[in-house]
Structure 1
Amino acid sequence: MKIALTGVAALLVGASPLLAGGIERAPQSLSALFEEGNYVELSFGGVDPSVDGTDVAIPGLYPGGTATGDVAQGYGFTGLAYKHQFTEAFSGAIIVEQPFGADIRYPSAIDGGTPLLGGTFAKVDSTTFTALGRYKMPNQFSVHGGIRGSRASGEVGLSGLAYGPVSGYNVELDDDTAIGWVAGVAWEKPEIAARVSLTYNSEVEHDFDTVETGPLVDPDGAGPLPDLPLLAGDSVTTVKTPQSWNLEFQTGVAPDTLVFGSVRWVDWSEFRVDPANFVNVTGGGLVELEDTTTYTLGVARKFNETWSGSASFTFEKAGDDLVSPLAPTNGRKGITLAAIYNQGPMRITTGVNYTRVGDAMPETGTPDTARADMRDNDAWGVGVRIGYRF
């Protein structure tokens, strides 16, 4: 069991990252740090979400009932981890991953989408580089921590009747690199493959060089002032990727059988995108999200010296039905099935995930009224991790 299944808990939780709360795509697991000896790992895969619905009527202006089209674009992901055992007590690791991202695009009305939101989009890319150290104490406890560098960029465009006078607004957030930190503690009992780890991931504060463009705005309604380019300009926008807590656990419950799981809390309410000109004109920012807690529970079984398998269930409670059009989902339930192939120092894990995405109603804050109804959506994901001990 030790060779085949130790570390499978965190490894499979992130085997097929999907649409989670906010713009999360991976759970920032540190599983590679707990591998035995020296270890290197490559992960890759893809996700195909389907998120669509119909728009909602605006009394006296628009009848509603038009299909939005599929607004969530598919994406791929890659990751790399290297762990080195310096002494019996001290080890270190470097982990490269893409924990946050978004690729949302509402088809335009010309392309068969909704006139209310058609043309609205959000594109976010991020890569993190985490350097960690771990010290094992004689009492089965260990501590770990390090620094995390994050490089990110983004672009958002608002379009459609639901955005009123700011339809046509666009903002570009240029590449920025910022630093955060990681710290945690773990307890292990290797003879039964038991481990419990608690890790804190700090917020990372980015200061993005920002370019805003948009339609002319009438500052005084029917007054004498002309329409002005109040939405256009250059500035710096501060965005914090959120702090989070990861509780991960695993334990042997019978010969060659392991139970594993995790609880992840993310402080999404601190994730704000507030470009200066947009806030000055509208009084609010582009994104407002709720905190999320995601639960995973699974079981893994070793069939022989070569093959193992596992199944796990993930649950994220739904929050307020009214959501940002740039993150048009609300909670999720998913199942991941995985096969693990062991051959000498090499381990190959392949995971397939199916997730039912919670119903949501995008709103644009003009006022807080639903502009679309997104229902019965889902996503498929597949991930592969190739690990090698040396």
Structure 2
Amino acid sequence: MANHLIKTTAIGLIAASAFVGGAQAGGWNRGEADTDILFEDGDIVARGGYTFVMPKRGYDTIEGVAATDDDFSQNYSIPSFAAKVKVSDRFACAFTYTQPFGADADYGAEAQLASLLNGGAGASHKDFITNEYASTCAVNMDAGMGKAYLLGGVFLQDFKYTANGRAGDLRLEDDAAYGYRIGAAYTIPEYAMRFQLMYRSKIDHDADDGSFDWNPAVAPLGLQDAFGAGTLPQSIKLSVQSGVAPGWLVYGSVKWTDWSVLDSLNYSIGNPFAPGGYLPQEDVYNWKDGWTVQAGVGHSFNEKISGTVNLTWDKGVDSGADIYTDTWTLGAGVLAKVGPGELRAGAGVSYLTSGSQSVANDATFDATADGDWAYAVTASYKVSF
């Protein structure tokens, strides 16, 4: 009975807490499409979830002086939805929604002044969000003791960016950019064993639907056109899991994200007095590639309840233009059979290591950050037919 429990609950058990670590991963990573639903039993399976993250990142010093600004990182949420349709024993498709990338920051008076004094925009707020709508299908065939899968699909991703500074308010939007994911997997259901490799393509966003609303105190130009361009990265993820004893499961993953593709966000804002009528601007990042490594263990306590705990390390991607340092996350989760479906819930606590940024490395001002903490909770519910 214990072997049966760990086999039937393995996928959902891992996801109960694994998602918490990914939600606080480096760079601007947030949600991942729930393609794991393709491996779950049922002709029609649907799952909806919600994750809430509370990062507590703030500056310790600004321009060499102890800072008193509040934390600049803001709380955020990640919705997720997935529905699987089994067409035949050999073919199934999943339709998913999530928000794969995002950021949200409010800068205090000290940070704004430091930026202005160094020739920056003196931003008081910056945020951006992406939405991904995807379809991913899987075809399988018998192979040895298990099954081999080929997976692939396409997704649509939008992009919305806003920034508020002393000169005015910037808005950039790209309603639709397209990408794809492709992968392979091998499963031996008898042992709850699965190996999966998944690639997600990069996305080039051309935000040609934008505006800049000038601050009348700076320039009485009103609302002007704005446009910009930037690239969000490709990634490759290897995931493994296996039952190791009756009722016990071990799992892990390694993910590479091509954050070095993001040198900067380039944009231009309208100004009739500038050459060509536009002022070229640039937000510099100069990020390095990111690595995310996770390892965990799960256990089925009885027919209705399973639990898991995992540890995630995420390599910092900054090179001194901003502060995105290494992150360590301890996550825990539970899966319970409630009503007609399964409820999974998880929580995590992250330690953000200390770091610094400097004008010499293309930052808008010098600053340091001590080690900080972040927290996250997640819950989802699945029904199968």
Q: Same fold (TM over 0.5)?
A: yes
Change (3 A) 1:204 1:25: same
Decide which of 129, 136, 139 is 1:132's aligned counterpart. 136
Mean alpha-carbon deviation: is it higher for 188-197 or for 6-15? 6-15
- The answer to whether the Cα contact below 8 Å between 2:226 and 2:268 also exists between their aligned partners in 1 is yes
- Matching residue of 2:9: 4
The alpha carbon displacement at 1:155 in A equals 1.0
- Matching residue of 1:75: 76
d(CA) in 2 for partners of 1:356 and 1:75? 17
d(CA) in 1 for partners of 2:123 and 2:77? 23
Change (3 A) 1:367 1:145: closer
- Matching residue of 2:98: 97
d(CA) in 1 for partners of 2:109 and 2:206? 31
Change (3 A) 1:54 1:158: farther
The aligned amino acid for 2:232 is T
d(CA) in 1 for partners of 2:314 and 2:226? 36
d(CA) in 1 for partners of 2:109 and 2:269? 25
1 or 2 for the larger relative contact order (CA 8 Å, sep ≥6)?
Answer: 2
d(CA) in 2 for partners of 1:205 and 1:233? 24
Mean alpha-carbon deviation: is it higher for 148-157 or for 193-202? 148-157
Mean alpha-carbon deviation: is it higher for 336-345 or for 372-381? 336-345
Secondary structure in 1 matching 2:113: coil
- Matching residue of 1:241: 232
The aligned amino acid for 1:264 is K
The aligned amino acid for 2:267 is P
- Matching residue of 2:119: none
C-alpha offsets along residues 8-67 of structure 1, whole Å, 9 cap, x if unaligned?
33553214653322211124452112212221101013111111123333xxxxx62232
Q: Aligned pair 1:54/2:56, yes or no?
A: no
Q: How does 1:105-120 map to 2 (within 5 A)?
A: 105-109=106-110, 115-117=113-115, 119-120=123-124
Secondary structure in 1 matching 2:29: coil
Decide which of 238, 255, 274 is 2:246's aligned counterpart. 255
- The answer to whether the Cα contact below 8 Å between 2:308 and 2:334 also exists between their aligned partners in 1 is yes
d(CA) in 1 for partners of 2:269 and 2:198? 37
- Matching residue of 1:224: none
- Matching residue of 1:141: 148
- Matching residue of 2:258: 267
Q: How does 1:1-390 map to 2 (within 5 A)?
A: 1-10=6-15, 12-15=17-20, 17-37=22-42, 38-57=44-63, 64-109=65-110, 115-117=113-115, 119-139=123-143, 140-158=147-165, 168=167, 170-208=169-207, 209-212=209-212, 234-271=225-262, 272-276=264-268, 284-320=282-318, 322-324=320-322, 328-343=323-338, 346-363=341-358, 371-390=366-385
Considering only aligned residues, what root-mean-square deviation do their CA atoms show, in Å?
2.8
The alpha carbon displacement at 1:323 in A equals 3.6
**Matched positions, count:** 359
- The answer to whether the Cα contact below 8 Å between 1:323 and 1:330 also exists between their aligned partners in 2 is no
The aligned amino acid for 2:49 is S
The alpha carbon displacement at 1:348 in A equals 0.8
Mean alpha-carbon deviation: is it higher for 258-267 or for 341-350? 341-350
d(CA) in 2 for partners of 1:92 and 1:284? 41
Kindly, what percent of the aligned residue pairs are identical?
Answer: 25
C-alpha offsets along residues 144-198 of structure 1, whole Å, 9 cap, x if unaligned?
1011011220112456xxxxxxxx4643112421111111000111110000111
d(CA) in 1 for partners of 2:257 and 2:220? 37
Task: Report which of the two has the higher share of strand.
Answer: 2
- The answer to whether the Cα contact below 8 Å between 2:206 and 2:230 also exists between their aligned partners in 1 is yes
The TM-score with structure 1 as length reference comes to: 0.83
Mean alpha-carbon deviation: is it higher for 366-375 or for 93-102? 366-375
Change (3 A) 1:281 1:119: closer
- Matching residue of 2:274: none
- The answer to whether the Cα contact below 8 Å between 1:127 and 1:151 also exists between their aligned partners in 2 is yes
